[in-house]
Amino acid sequence: MKPERLVALAFGVSVLSSLALVIVYVAGGDAQLEGLLLGLALGGLGAGVVVWATRLLHEDVAIEERGQLSSEAERSEAAEALDEPDLTRRSMLVRMLIGASGTLAAALAIPALSLGPRPGQSLFRTRWIAGKRLVDLDGNPVRPEQVQAGAVQTVFPEGEVGAADAQTVLLKVDPAALQLPAGREEWAPEGVLGYSKICTHAGCPVGLYRAESHELLCPCHQSTFDVLRGGEPTFGPADRPLPQLPIEVDDQGFLVATGDFSEPVGPGFWNLQSDEGEDQAS
């Protein structure tokens, strides 16, 4: 088979494979079939370029004895007959190369749609909003008197039980012992405190409570937080306080949030947040 036809065939396989890849992806996807089609698309494009480079761009030099010279008219006619098809074939191959490259680029770009929308400021917010009741694992709203001193209880926003970013540790202390940061004086009605259950070191669940020292403990790396002083770290690798949830008691005697946590929840990654993110989180 002539090199031109080999190149055209290879580029054609690449184009058809790329188009088929897009169709399969849009139709629901099949990992094995998509991998096969991607391999054919890349292989066809690569094979076409290799054949073009090795068999069309580099021609062997041959020297033969010169025979009887032809006339000027004969030479001009022969040159036109030889050059025109070559130019036509070359233009066709260039167009096929562009087509193969374009369809392959489109096929590779389509899966980017699966990445979903940009998170924006959603990473700085949880499901807690003003007026959301605190509920237990069964979805029952919690009253202050139901929170036992010396114990911890996991709560969520009403209607959002199981929301990972909103899980909160609820506990009760003597209100007179509290030394909360300025502006949080009203965040602990009847001595009931709420802190994010996600450790600020590596994101492990903070579920242990030392009642005698009023400290929450993360069992993963032993980070310890003082609940009387706004969740300040007192031991271990964590260098950020546990975010505190502002809460109050509503007209029916149930605990409700008055807003989101004092700062974004989660590991120390948030130390690298942008100024815009800090403004949004405050």
Q: Could you give the strand order of the β-sheet that contains 232-235, starting from the edge strand earlier in sequence?
A: 208-210, 215-217, 224-226, 232-235
Residues in the chain: 282
Beta bridge partners of 202: none
Domain boundaries of the chain, sorted by first residue: 3-58+73-115, 123-281
Cβ atoms within 10 Å, residue 189: 14
Which SS3 state, helix, strand or coil, does residue 83 take? helix
172: phi > 0 → left, psi -120 to 50 → alpha, else beta; which?
beta
Which SS3 state, helix, strand or coil, does residue 168 take? strand
Q: What is the pLDDT of residue 275?
A: 43
Alpha-carbon span 23 to 110, nearest angstrom: 10
Mean pLDDT by 10 residues, the chain (282 residues): 80 87 80 84 85 70 61 63 55 78 76 58 78 94 92 93 91 93 93 94 89 92 93 91 94 94 79 45 42
Architecture, CATH, for domain 123-281: 3-layer Sandwich (2.102)
Q: What is the pTM of this model?
A: 0.56
Q: What is the pLDDT of residue 229?
A: 94
End-to-end Cα, the chain, rounded Å: 70
- The pLDDT tens digits of the residues spanning 52-81 come to 777 776 655 566 666 655 666 666 665 655
Q: What is the pLDDT of residue 61?
A: 59
Q: What is the pLDDT of residue 192?
A: 95
Alpha-carbon span 180 to 282, nearest angstrom: 17
